[in-house]
Structure 1
């Protein structure tokens, strides 16, 4: 068996880092001790730094992050407080785990800490920071974000692309209906839902040609997306040791070569799409058509829509939309099956509203108040990104009375905030009714005890599209089928363990038995 079967890859990398750094230990220790001491700020007084848990020489607190960092950091916050300063390698990292501290970061000092850290992996996969999600703050970033929102994520575009959701949900229902003909045979819901999400995002991004013969290599691209998610979330020594040591470790462990391989496969696929897209064609116009037109016009606002900008935005579209949407749908279905009284209540609401029609339609969704509560409760318990994408301070700020120097990375633990007992009664229980009266919550008006999409300038721009797709999909799954666990498995025994990196999946696959609801018909 391979070494990976016995020792997790993260610990292999950390061990290699430690061994390679042994010769530098005396020098590094002196430097780190000096850096840890409180330094004078611009007024000449000493900084009041947040609590900082003790760490190891060289590694700092890296070894304490664990396989599920959001849980490890939450446990550390129980001992050291909701505002902690860690040292990950040579990098200072502020970890925020309370609504009040999150407000300081995401609202009070939003303009001072809305940048992103410049790390090798994100730099390469974003085409030298030509994307929206991972690029440092700049005027060009503002223009790219505006472009992505207007041309892909706006309410106008959501309305214009409902046909894609309706088409793909028809395929989803048909596939599950065929599977349900096998009696009590369970189906793996992930296999159906991830393909469905890919179909929606692909059609909106690339128009009607997505799924045609032009995309014969689409299955391979799915594999590349999976690998890109691994690269985004995996440990890279150079992220925490931005020097020769970090580069050497990444080369020895294969992290650098995997990153380069994924980049080249992404790039080859995007080059193929750019070569085959026809912006002036009739029919559905995708995001790529708009971007090609703007690229030919050269200027959009104050920045050039270059080929790398087009690829960077397409990368965000697939990595950001497919995985997070599918993960939320799977967690929602898992919680509903574990809580049959909630499942019955939401199905009754949907079926009463829809009547005997074939499927749930677009106009029905806005009227399904309890369904919206179910989605919100799912996002509270299972935010797709439990740790918001790291920020970096551009200037000295204060958080909960503590001083935070410039060039400090900031992690907001949205998962911990969503389960904080000071904000939520019985926080570990799935109770959609806690959102009664807030079904029409405006996520753009940040509520800092509930941050599934973040807040401030770096708030997820895909909120409206994500919610529209999630609610529409769940409504049809719950209307068209009755759902049961496989024979012999009780709801209280169902595993809800987590796995993953950047996004958090259900560790064990969700196997359910669908039975076609008699008032619907297979499409």
Structure 2
């Protein structure tokens, strides 16, 4: 405990000085930055975000305008909340804003941002998109698997009908739609029926996909403090580092 307190006493003043220097640099910048709510050293505007962040951001936007800056830890985030500003970002300056934010969870699950979903915009991403459009999502390719989709949807409707007429038991639609999606993907990609395949554990696959979805939406201290090793140290203290390793395990199992 004494080591931890000594560590905090050493690291906190360093970050306060660094944050103050960065704030002065931004204020003296030649760029005209959007307005920003009052912030604290180190945490920035994190104290403005409570259990319902979307409502907090909406309230801040009504006060500071359709374009504002929030400092989530040491990471500046531009919040756009009007159609005119969204058009500027997504249409006029779409190339500058086309790359997704880098986060620990997405890095682990995308093998270092090498997939088409989270990869940075560039030549490599354009080539991946070209291959996906030609080999996976072309009209001819999509139509060739139409019978699979029709068969699986028919089976799902039949199951729902039997459940309502014969057993009159409640239907878990989330589980049903997951099974539908997994069945279609399994037949298209592997040529095997998801329910009859011997080497596929349905319960385990559903658990892994659910954990992967949670990992993609999970924030870590490293996401908020990406430089200097401060975020990683806090993640290690609060057990987030073990969860990051769990993301790597999920990624390897999904690949298998």
Superposition TM-score, scaled by structure 2 size: 0.85
Do structure 1's residue 62 and structure 2's residue 49 form an aligned pair?
no
TM-fit CA distance, 1:182: 5.0
Do structure 1's residue 201 and structure 2's residue 201 form an aligned pair?
no
TM-fit CA distance, 1:187: 2.9
Offset from partner CA, 1:147-195 (integer Å, 9 cap, x none): 2232223333321221221111112111111111257654332232222
CA distance in 1: counterparts of 2:7 and 2:155, whole angstroms? 53
Tell me the number of residue pairs that the alignment of Structure 1 and Structure 2 aligns: 249
Offset from partner CA, 1:237-271 (integer Å, 9 cap, x none): 10111132211222232323223223224323423
Give the direction of change, closer, same or farther, for the CA distance of 1:85–1:20 in structure 2 (3 Å limit).
farther
TM-fit CA distance, 1:214: 4.4
Q: Per chain length, whose mean CA-contact separation is higher, i.e. which structure has more relative contact order (CA < 8 Å, sep 6+)?
A: 1
Do structure 1's residue 253 and structure 2's residue 238 form an aligned pair?
yes
CA distance in 2: counterparts of 1:225 and 1:63, whole angstroms? 32
- Mapping 1:36-115, distance limit 5 Å: 36-37=23-24, 38=26, 46-115=30-99
TM-fit CA distance, 1:30: 2.9
Is the Cα contact below 8 Å between 2:211 and 2:250 reproduced in 1?
Answer: no
For 2:197, the equivalent position in structure 1 comes to 213
Is the Cα contact below 8 Å between 2:72 and 2:224 reproduced in 1?
Answer: yes
SS in 2 for 1:261: helix
Do structure 1's residue 238 and structure 2's residue 225 form an aligned pair?
no
Give the direction of change, closer, same or farther, for the CA distance of 1:131–1:68 in structure 2 (3 Å limit).
farther
| Residue ranges of structure 2 left out of the alignment (5+ in a row) | 1-5
TM-fit CA distance, 1:142: 1.2
Aligned-residue CA RMSD (Å): 2.5
Is the Cα contact below 8 Å between 1:21 and 1:58 reproduced in 2?
Answer: no
For 1:166, the equivalent position in structure 2 comes to 150
Is the Cα contact below 8 Å between 1:20 and 1:245 reproduced in 2?
Answer: no
Offset from partner CA, 1:77-136 (integer Å, 9 cap, x none): 122211110101111110111111111111111122222333332222111221112122
CA distance in 2: counterparts of 1:20 and 1:71, whole angstroms? 36
CA distance in 1: counterparts of 2:61 and 2:47, whole angstroms? 16
CA distance in 2: counterparts of 1:35 and 1:113, whole angstroms? 23
Do structure 1's residue 147 and structure 2's residue 131 form an aligned pair?
yes
SS in 2 for 1:136: coil
Offset from partner CA, 1:287-325 (integer Å, 9 cap, x none): xxxxxxxxxxxxxxxxxxxxxxxxxxxxxxxxxxxxxxx
- Mapping 1:300-319, distance limit 5 Å: none
Is the Cα contact below 8 Å between 1:83 and 1:95 reproduced in 2?
Answer: yes
TM-fit CA distance, 1:145: 1.9
SS in 1 for 2:192: helix
Do structure 1's residue 35 and structure 2's residue 22 form an aligned pair?
yes
Higher helix fraction: Structure 1 or Structure 2? Answer: 2
Higher strand fraction: Structure 1 or Structure 2? Answer: 1
- Mapping 1:397-436, distance limit 5 Å: none
CA distance in 1: counterparts of 2:157 and 2:123, whole angstroms? 44
For 1:268, the equivalent position in structure 2 comes to 253
Give the direction of change, closer, same or farther, for the CA distance of 1:245–1:55 in structure 2 (3 Å limit).
same
CA distance in 2: counterparts of 1:262 and 1:30, whole angstroms? 34
TM-fit CA distance, 1:68: 4.3
Is the Cα contact below 8 Å between 2:183 and 2:193 reproduced in 1?
Answer: no
TM-fit CA distance, 1:71: 3.4
